[in-house]
Chains A and B, each alone.
Chain A
Amino acid sequence: MADTARSAPSPPPRTAEISTLSFALIISVPVLIFLLVVVAYPLAYAFYLSFHEIRFFGGYSATWNGLANYSKVFSDQSFWSSLGRTLRFTVETVILTLAVGLGLALILKHLPAKWRWLRALIILPWAVSPYGAGIFFTYLGRGQTGIGTAVAGWFGSDHTVNLISARFVVEYLAVGAAWNMAPLVAFFLLANMLTTPARLYDLAKIDQMSRLETFWHVTLPPLRFTLFVFSCITTVLAMKTFDYIFTATQGGPGGASAVLTYTLYKISFVNLDLGYGAAMSFFLLAVILGATGLLYLLWGRKEERQ
């Protein structure tokens, strides 16, 4: 036997399989190079601007002023108040988007066959541009045209109900942002749910798990990584939201919804203080990187290990 085996022709040597990392690099390097070209120049130019005082009137000039723009940010009250609003808006948007997305996905999964066409329709809010969503939520929230007044009217009240109030405008905007984003989250979660083997649910039934236990131990675990990814994506999108808020409230009422991007817009494009605006934008970049980094440390690493 041993001789027979020894005399058998040896199989051709197998080509080494390409590693996951190599494959990822091959498909992503061209994109990275493109991004570098597209992003690097504006980023470098913004960095240059942040150390200068830029003037357009009386002839263009760029005067070196060192770290003055950066230090000015720390003493600028509007920066801190805008940052507070940005964080408030972001946290609320992320929680609402994930919660609504998850809820929608669960509903869509259990739709009877004759209602499954709704799965296609549900994506429509995501197809609305932030500009369009801004206009939509302006009319929806205003006392004279909005849903609050309409609902009050159904109950016989002739009072106007304004949802764009300084006290809760950030929450109202977060609802709008979640309305816009949640369908996409729902779609991805639904795709995940549909890959969960049905036998796991059968086993849960055998174990006499309650609905909540089934959700917690069977439905949720395969979704956790998707939820983590979308929490990162939604965090970044919420922090850099501008057009939706600009269209919906113009940072108002008063300055109640003036998030950091809106303050940056005002400094850079109304006051034309490009140097200071560029310096402040790097703080926003740091906040975005810090927030996503924190999410990874607290949640992402755990998911990776599992």
Chain B
Amino acid sequence: MSSDFTTMNRRAFLRSTALLGATALGSSLVHIPFALATEFKPASGETVYFRGWQFRTDVVQNNVDTYNKAFEAKVDYATVTGDYPAVMEKALIANEQLDVLYANPSSAVRYNGGGWVLPASELPDGQEIADGMYPNIREAWSVDGKLLGLSYFVTTRGALHVFTKPYLAAGYTEEQLPTNWDALYDMVYALKEKGVATPILPHWFGEYFGISWGFVFEVMNRGGQVADPATHKPALTLDGPAGKTLAAWKKLWKSGLVPEEVFSYNEAGYIDAFRSGRYIFSPQQLYDLKTFNDKAQSGDVAGHVSLLPGKEQSWGLIDSALYVMTARKGRSDPLTDDVKKFVSWYGYKDENGKYAVASRWLKENMLFSAYKAVMESEEARTAVSTSLMRPEDYDRVLEVYSKTPYPKGIWNVVWSEEFNFWLREKLFAFLQQDLEAEAVINEANAKITELNERYKI
């Protein structure tokens, strides 16, 4: 025992205690981010391969660089061109160097069916992540109770955009905007009568998420289903929403109001067509409202693009994407841990406990997130409001977004992509070769039954 201790007076004791307390407090404050930082630091020294489609690759690369720099990590990011779901599926079958990828939920379900996915539920904070999501999104992204990936974006594909300038010029008012699909088609023909050559740009483009998704969301917006969400059995009927959708499409096609070239558009062509100002109505991606109202990107329509109200019915469907981890064979356990660390940082919270990547997507591109904390923040309101034609459209955006359905019957099933491709071709043939609606519906139901049998569902 030191003499100093025994001879310590009261003042010295208090001073020492205060110093110790401050040190302890300080170290505890510093300890939280330090612990988190340690959690994200890779240990294997190996490369994590991250692949995605081409969207704002500059932002993604910058995010990856931030992670690599902060944690001395080796994440290799690259984009994939072409038919993305098929290309990635081939890469997964071949057990290529692929650790993290973008996937739409339907693809993620299929990849999971092939045994190529490491579910997000297996992350150390998997339960916390799942709890932080909106329940409907979490359910859409889950199979057998397992969450397949982390939130990249959530949006409404097929939100009905309106270019208000020619609409108002035709003598109509905001109050007369259509509130359901039948009213929309009536308005299209009324505008035609008034001499508008191209009143609508339908969702009939050539991508895998083009015409087939257009059919699916119109059927759902009209209150129907393509297949039962639980059993995946076919649910299309001629006298129901599917029959009404096909009848409306055939009439529109035969009216000559839609140029055939729409069929060959890719997504960029489809967006370009609407922002050219030639069309009044078009089902578009909700986040593209920002693009259309940005003068730098859409000079012909900027400041004049709004949404049709969603009070009476939904518009579009939930279009979303996840960051999915692969279950690559032969990958070492330390590398798998690194993959989890990276995905957790990129798809959830960073070392400061912030949803850095998700917030950035929201701010820069109006990409919504599955995380309640991101969407319900004041930052989100500001980000969305500044992207709109006018601030009061914010409520309309939320109104449309909150009602958007998810086609679980055909997307949370392993044959999703096959059916989608088949449906795409059949719908083109329906219009171009003047097939009967009844035949198309019967064949679609038969196709779903055949796929269920083939995959023993």
Contact = CB atoms under 8 A, between A and B. Distances in A.
Interface of A: 56-59, 138, 142-145, 160, 162, 164-166, 169, 246, 249-250, 252-256, 258, 265-266, 269-272
A265 B82 CA distance: 12
Nearest to A269: B86
A59 B455 CA distance: 12
A252 B261 contact: no
Given A142-B269, A249-B206, A253-B206, A270 B264 contact: no
Given A58-B456, A269-B86, A160 B261 contact: yes
Contacts of A265: 86
Contact of A138 (B93, B264, B421): B264
B54 to A, nearest CB: 13
A29 B89 CA distance: 38
B420 to A, nearest CB: 9
Interface string B252-292: 00000001110111100100110010100000000000000
Contact of A270 (B86, B431, B433): B86
Given A160-B261, A254-B263, A270-B85, 9 more contacts: A57-B455, A143-B261, A249-B206, A250-B206, A250-B264, A253-B263, A254-B429, A269-B86, A271-B418
B373 to A, nearest CB: 36
B182 interface: no
A186 B455 CA distance: 53
Contacts of B425: 254-255, 258
A52 to B, nearest CB: 15
Nearest to B456: A58
Nearest to B273: A144
B49 interface: no
Interface in B193-212: 206-207
A54 B206 CA distance: 29
A160 B278 CA distance: 11
B432 A256 contact: yes
Interface in B414-457: 414, 417-418, 421, 425, 428-429, 431-433, 455-456
B260 A57 contact: no
Given A254-B425, A256-B432, A160 B417 contact: no
A57 B206 CA distance: 28
Given A57-B414, A162-B259, A255-B429, A144 B276 contact: yes
Contact of B417 (A254, A258, A270): A270
Interface string B61-85: 0000000000000000000001101
B21 interface: no
Interface residues of B, number: 37
A269 B82 contact: no
A49 B389 CA distance: 56
Contact of A254 (B261, B278, B431): B431
6 contacts: A138-B269, A142-B265, A144-B261, A165-B260, A166-B260, A270-B86
B272 A270 contact: no
A184 B114 CA distance: 45
Contact of B428 (A164, A253, A266): A253
Contacts of B432: 166, 253-254, 256
Contacts of B418: 270-272
A120 to B, nearest CB: 31
A266 to B, nearest CB: 6
B210 to A, nearest CB: 9
A56 B114 CA distance: 6
Given A253-B206, A255-B428, A270 B421 contact: yes
A249 B90 contact: no
A160 B263 CA distance: 15
B124 interface: no
B115 interface: yes
Given A252-B206, A270-B421, A271-B421, A59 B261 contact: no
Query: Closest 7 CB pairs between A and B?
Result: A254-B428, A253-B263, A162-B261, A143-B261, A57-B113, A254-B432, A164-B264
Nearest to A250: B206
B114 A246 contact: no
A256 B455 CA distance: 30
B212 to A, nearest CB: 12
Contacts of A142: 261, 264-265, 269
A73 B272 CA distance: 40
